[in-house]
Amino acid sequence: MLVSANKAMKNNTNKLALLGGLSYDGGRVGVLLIHSLGGTPLELKYIAQGFAREGYSVECPILPGMTNGTDVLSLARWQDWYAEVERVFDELSAKCDTVLVGGLSAGAILSLKLAKERPEEVAGVLAFAPTLWPNGWAVPWTFNFYRLVHTRWFARLFRFNQRAPYGVKDERIRKFMSDAFKAENRTIEEVYARPGVMVLEFCRLVRHMTRHLRDVAASTLIVHPREDDQSSLKNALKLQHDLAGPVEAIVLDDSYHMVTLDRQRDLVLDRALDFSARTVARVEAGRKTAAPKRRSAEVVEISG
């Protein structure tokens, strides 16, 4: 048993060595981007590079335990994912005056969690295809029975494989992804498979945040596809209704779940940049208004 555990930990270390986050140095405004459940920072590379070109400092870390293959023993909990998000956020905040946070799917939920816990520090939230429950048209209806799973030992019996179209409507991008994984002797189903414990921890994260959505006062941009194969538009509508702060919602008509790399990625980037610029301007204007004014020097007239 010890040999098996050591082998698993070695495989886990090798997996982490092959993966890496995205980091772009820029100005005094930062953006933290969080990948999806079982995903990698590569899902957000197009968005990250777009922000970097506009002069933003960008961090898109890999979250151990939330990336497939980095927790082969299924030990991580959603609190571990969030702790890594906070750590990277603190590092980014140390060199930036203003920081926005965003994420894809489950990453969007972690972004909202950060906005709840750091209301004075998170300037705004970018929620790309946010997921509260996987209920898109490509998800088998039998997945609803997973609501009955509440213990980690039982969750270990499950493993969920992705089904076509894998969140991507653009067939060229889907083929590119598939060919890239084949070159690494992996299938796209294997890469995006999610262990049962990982899914259980995500469900626990969602249950926690569902109770606190009205505590999120940050300005939020929601971008969600109408034909989402992984999470229906109902997810975005609930967030729009329950979040306490101002919400802008954009519904895409030619994308599936991976909106950050699918057919309308240019539109997603443009709207994200526009929202971020307006949010930063509003935050900075508020700081100037709140800053104490210097008292003017008194003029004393001396006669004689």
175-208 pLDDT per residue, tens: 888 777 777 677 777 777 899 999 999 999 999 9
Residue 191 maps to a domain: yes
Query: Is the residue at 51 inside a domain?
Result: yes
Tell me which of 165 and 47 has the higher pLDDT: 47
Q: Which domain holds residue 245?
A: 2-286
Which segments of 129-244 are extended strands (E)? 159-160, 194-195, 219-225
Rounded Cα–Cα distance for residues 196 and 294 (Å): 59
Strands 98-104 and 29-34, sheet pairing: parallel
Under DSSP, is residue 73 helix (H, G, I), strand (E, B) or coil? coil
For residue 101, tell me if it sits in a domain: yes
The verdict on residue 134 lying in a domain is: yes
The C-alpha atoms of residue 78 and residue 205 are separated, in whole angstroms, by: 6
What is the pairing mode between strands 57-60 and 29-34? parallel
Q: What is the pTM of this model?
A: 0.88
The enclosing H or E element of 214 equals none
Ranking 62-71, 113-122, 138-147, 185-194 by mean pLDDT, the lowest is: 185-194
Other Cβ atoms within 10 Å of 221 Cβ, number: 24
Confidence category of residue 71, pLDDT binned at 50, 70, 90:
confident
DSSP 8-state class, residue 37: T
Average pLDDT over all residues of the chain? 89
Could you tell me the CATH number of the domain that includes residue 136? 3.40.50.1820
What per-residue confidence (pLDDT) applies to 15?
A: 43
**Inside any domain, residue 199:** yes
Determine the pLDDT at residue 251: 98
pLDDT of residue 9: 38
CA distance 34 to 225: 19
Count of domains for the chain:
1
Helix crossing, 196-210 with 78-95: angle to 10°?
70
Query: Does residue 142 belong to any structural domain of this protein?
Result: yes
Q: In DSSP terms, which residues pair with 34 in a beta bridge?
A: 103
d(CA 24, CA 71): 27
Percent of the chain whose pLDDT exceeds 70: 89
Domain annotation covers residue 7: yes
Instruction: Tell me if 295 is assigned to some domain.
Output: no
pLDDT score recorded for residue 73: 83
